[in-house]
A and B are shown apart, each in its own frame.
Chain A
Amino acid sequence: MRRLLVLGAGTAGTMVVNKLRPRLAEDEWEITIVDQDEVHHYQPGYLFIPFGDYRPEEVTKPRRRLLPDGVRLVIDEIDRVDPEAKVVRLAGGTELGYDELVIATGTTPRPEETPGLLSDEWGRSIHTFYTLEGATALRDALERFDGGRLVVHIVDYPFKCPVAPLEFTFLADAFFAERGMRDRVELVYVTPLDGAFTKPVAARHLGGMLEDRKIATETDFYVERVDPESKTLVSYDEREIPFDLLVTVPLNMGADFIARSGLGNELNYVPVDHHTFLSTEHDDIFVLGDAADLPTSKAGSVAHFEGEIFVENFLRHIEGKEMRAHFDGHANCFIESGYGKALMIDFNYETEPLPGKYPLPGVGPFSLLEETEMNHWGKLLFRWVYWNLLVTGRELPLPALMSKLGKRIEEVGP
């Protein structure tokens, strides 16, 4: 009996065991998946909780219900991987041996890495929506907020769902406008980048949207600490930004067992081949989703596109054949822009987000880099797609590799 061990029963891990179980004979392959708790979170849903659009119970389900028969779920924390012995040790003392290992333990916000964030003000004037608990506390804070300076802030890149803080800012603008108090709220977007987003054409579109909404932007701001007493963000080059309400995206890091196992870089992400997700050091370890050190977005859409490529490659790899499928870094995401509209972006390692239509060139129904109601409905429908099709490994009518058809190349001016 050969053993496939998957660490992490989130988006990537759940999806690939659902895709692989029917393809691996049950009398030849045993599949075990490990997670530290029983609850699967639909993380894209966190964004809507602060504005009261989703309730917390709408974004969670028991992990077991999303896993297929014939896959064993083990609940425990991971202590470390021993790649030489091909064993994973769990905190409770259990040892799980493997023939093939998939690491899909994602990335988590680490507010403790920035001095002053986890102070008495955490949960009062300092918030994050990157956890269910945080998003729920922020909902209550927004309910109470009667005006002042709301600062949306990013500690450092990379972090998961890199458009989420922009979406939060657009939704906050609309939220206050609808409550008739937008003129009493000063919105400020603070980023360590030199623009609104990482890629030039999208950065120009999104930067223009911030300007149109009278949202001030502070760029190249690399935070050193937060002073909870004076409610101020302080950068390494000694700029100060005061706030009444801070919504921060803390530093993101991969799981600590990756560091303990000596498998990761300085942020606990595992170096992998950019096209096959095979560890650069170990021929029997694949890393999927946010846990990998890939130069593309950390996002569920990427995990999804990776899944298809991975399954095809994995089935060849275990037969000792060369892997043929090559991932191109394909990512896409809806960007909520408020007032019932959203944009969409679609890109990969080589091609930045461009205007056009998706997924059918020239037809859509979704519009790239353009605010439409259809995009917004797509985003809302996606929660159903996620629970019912995506994590359970069913086919979606979306190609894994990016298409350039129907996209307009825009020049970026100096």
Chain B
Amino acid sequence: MATTTIAGREVHVDAEGFLTEYDEWDEELAKQLAQNIGIDLTDEHWKVIRFLREDYRTNGETPTLRRVSTVGGFPTKRLFQLFPKKPAKKMAYIAGLPKPKGCV
């Protein structure tokens, strides 16, 4: 597994840059990850990111877009505005979670 330096720290990432170690993430890192994909984090973004972190911690899997919407209570339409084009991937990337498998 490759490592890279983000926000001055060395972290483990996969080939597409998704963090692979849950505990290497913190909020400073998230800000940098968000900037990498052109997103400025607002309070609304943070609520979503914290839901993803919490859900992963309990279930051991990156939640799907549908789960973030139905379980987290964030409307899908809004998620597409907050994380344009590919919300499932962008949310996971900023939250420091593995790329969503979603689909098998």
Q: How far is the CB of A193 from chain B (nearest CB, A)?
A: 6
| Stretch in contact with the other chain, from B18-26, B30-38, B42-50, B96-104 | B96-104
Q: Write out, one digit per residue, whether chain B residues 30-73 have a CB within 8 A of any chain A CB (1) or not (0).
A: 00000000000000000000000000000101001111001100
A156 touches B104 (CB 8 A): no
A267 to B66, CA, bound (A): 9
A237 to B71, CA, bound (A): 21
A295 touches B66 (CB 8 A): no
A193 touches B103 (CB 8 A): yes
Inside 8 A of A222's CB, which chain B residues have their CB?
A: 65, 76, 80
| Chain A residue at smallest Cβ distance from B81 | A237
A266 touches B70 (CB 8 A): yes
B67 touches A236 (CB 8 A): no
Inside 8 A of A265's CB, which chain B residues have their CB?
A: 67
Q: How many A-B residue pairs have CB under 8 A?
A: 41
Inside 8 A of B9's CB, which chain A residues have their CB?
A: none
Inside 8 A of A157's CB, which chain B residues have their CB?
A: 64, 102-104
A295 touches B101 (CB 8 A): yes
Q: How far is the CB of B69 from chain A (nearest CB, A)?
A: 9
Number of interface residues of A (CB under 8 A): 19
A267 to B85, CA, bound (A): 24
Q: Write out, one digit per residue, whether chain A residues 292-305 have a CB within 8 A of any chain B CB (1) or not (0).
A: 00011100000000
Q: How far is the CB of A35 from chain B (nearest CB, A)?
A: 26
Q: How far is the CB of B78 from chain A (nearest CB, A)?
A: 9
B80 touches A236 (CB 8 A): yes
Whether A120 sits at the interface, judged by CB under 8 Å, is no
Q: Write out, one digit per residue, whether chain A residues 157-188 have a CB within 8 A of any chain B CB (1) or not (0).
A: 11000100000000000000000000000000
| Chain B residue at smallest Cβ distance from A159 | B103
Inside 8 A of B86's CB, which chain A residues have their CB?
A: 194, 220
Whether A94 sits at the interface, judged by CB under 8 Å, is no
A158 touches B104 (CB 8 A): yes
Are A162 and B77 CB-contacts (below 8 A) given A156-B66, A222-B65, A267-B66? no
| Chain B residue at smallest Cβ distance from A293 | B61
Pairs A–B under 8 Å by Cβ, sample size 18: A157-B64, A157-B102, A157-B103, A158-B104, A162-B104, A193-B103, A194-B86, A220-B85, A222-B80, A236-B77, A236-B79, A237-B80, A237-B85, A266-B71, A267-B66, A295-B101, A296-B104, A297-B104
Binding site for A on B (CB under 8 A): 59, 61, 64-67, 70-71, 76-77, 79-80, 84-86, 101-104
